[in-house]
Structure 1
């Protein structure tokens, strides 16, 4: 059973100050040694640490190692603590709890509270942290995984690891951590892109585009933020997004609204737009008027970054007229163009193969 907290603090204060009597020292080590269960002792020491550690500069603690050392020390008895030579003059004296109710500044109070909770640990294990810091080399910085970087030398349709889709404008770059790992799904954009975001309430989707931060509160929107442009624009087609600069929230953008941000003056305004009309670039290369199947297959290959081949050469010269919004998936687009020529397709090992009779075959 643990003694009264005030008694523990008193014993710790006496021990830290070097004024504990033999009886007080025995009592202090006795309640450690005679504890019926390790769990309350661990919980008590950890609790005192957690109350104050956020306000201090102490290093992190391996509680299993420290607890074992404290218990071992309590069994072998206290010895005089001598600081390592390298720290005798440089280290500061550990402050102790005040014996009066004099008001302390925040930092002073934090140090004294920590001293009450861990003084025993510091002294009883012979300078645990000090000697450990001398003997243990600084940790080697962990190598970070290289980010995924997508550069579009033509308009591309991308499917992100979370299932969201992006139409990336020619000349634009998208960058993100593999798997969109982390508490936030965060990506960086230089250029223009149309986003259709898969909802995930537990992980917000954030786009960093130079000086702006756009947080997804809905689904579909367009951002134009090329490096040398004077303005950044955010246009929403569905749902809503929150837009911030480096200092403040600029506003919430709703469907058929566009926010225009002036980079030089750091000011922004919103205006009404026909969002569909402003996204004509998304439809580039997906409106076909009497184009050959081979021509369309080449455009699909570039847009979705997949090889496309024909198992019947006679299909290549078949003419097709078709029009798309530009946001369709690969399967949706293939289904339409194949249906137009009474053909089918398969996808195997990342390659699309189109099957069917030629235009003049019967």
Structure 2
């Protein structure tokens, strides 16, 4: 739905001139979006829309013979509440909602409008650190047992382990699926690429096919495109929607995952490479024959990063290295021991 079309439709919704089909379309469309609309409305327009939405938010009296109608009204109540939140007329402008507590399955929205990170604990015990100007959206209580959140911006996730209920992070372009791990998702609308970085555990990242602008209000699993990647610690997936290209890389600064002495006195180069693999969980390929008989006297404790350690090793042996698909290849044609 284009922005001018959306604006016109919301104005008709505000004025109460939508057809029944258009009213359902607005409410169903918002409920199905991973990221709700943020139209720019004037203060007076927001106030008028606020009044109209409150009329829809008030639960109608339900008699014994009106259970079906009451259920439908409840569904409209939730959809209208979601529209209110997306329009910026939620808790800040509407004030506290009168009546009973929030109905199960309603949308929870966490927007970080501060200059600092914001910590959020999810219903399953997972923890999220939301970066400034970022927004997280999910069903209250993870209704239906679905551990799914929708992200715009950047957040770090530390997911509670639950084999029976995979945890999903959905952005405009990617789905990230895990059981229990820690990782970062960066998906700002103005950036050309979406990035998923894994700190611990493993995750599956898969591009999403475009979905219709107006869809059912029911929560439906998004359509997946081909080309899923499984990421391990210190790996990242980078997706460019414009080129529909998903690639795997090492994170810019791999974290050390296991202790190693990193001090070598006349030790084989192969031993140093194997220690680096163990410490950082990064695959380092080399030809055993090319480093056979090659030893080094080297102290790598002062080198802060994996790449600094590799640079020092290459300088000591006259070798080089390259990166591809989250792996490192160590190139050595002769041994220059020091």
TM-score clears 0.5: no
Q: TM-score, normalised by structure 1?
A: 0.37
Higher helix share: 1
Greater RCO between the two (CA within 8 Å, min separation 6)? 2
Q: TM-score, normalised by structure 2?
A: 0.39
